[in-house]
Amino acid sequence: MKALKRQFMRPVMLGAALILGSGQALAADDSQWESGEQIYAKVCGHCHEAGVGPTIKGRSLPPSYITAIVRHGFRAMPAFRASFIDDQALQSVAEYISTSPAPQNEE
């Protein structure tokens, strides 16, 4: 019985360690934001530049609209809590997106 418990507990403990470690990595990364452009490249661009999410650059979206969508989510867009991106960093990326030109089509 003890051997069975140990076999079960190892993966559970490993999973818990990975989850806790990733949370610390996110928290450490939060203090690493340098600019709105960097945040867009590290977070937003993964979907919005890959055709998963809509194109958001070049649409002159108001920063207040962008921050509301990021904080609360909308349809497939997840909500990003202040523990992931603080208000100042969120405002920075919203201003970057709002003033960025549309991406150039590669044909």
Q: Is the pLDDT of residue 42 over 90?
A: yes
Which of 1, 3, 50, 76 is catalytic? The answer is 76
Q: Is the pLDDT of residue 103 over 80?
A: yes
Over the stretch 60-69, which tens digit does the pLDDT of each residue have? 999 999 999 9
- Note if 76 is an active site residue: yes
Query: Is CATH 1.10.760.10 what the domain over 34-107 is classified as, yes or no?
Result: yes
Domain residues of the chain, as ranges?
Answer: 1-32, 34-107
- Note if 9 is an active site residue: no
Which of 25, 27, 77, 102 is catalytic? The answer is 77
Contact 54, 107 (CB under 8 A): no
Give the whole-number percent of the chain exceeding pLDDT 70.
67
Q: Quick one: 75 exposed, middle or buried, by C-beta within 10 A (0-12, 13-18, 19+)?
A: exposed
Q: Point out which residues pair with 74 in neighbouring strands.
A: 77
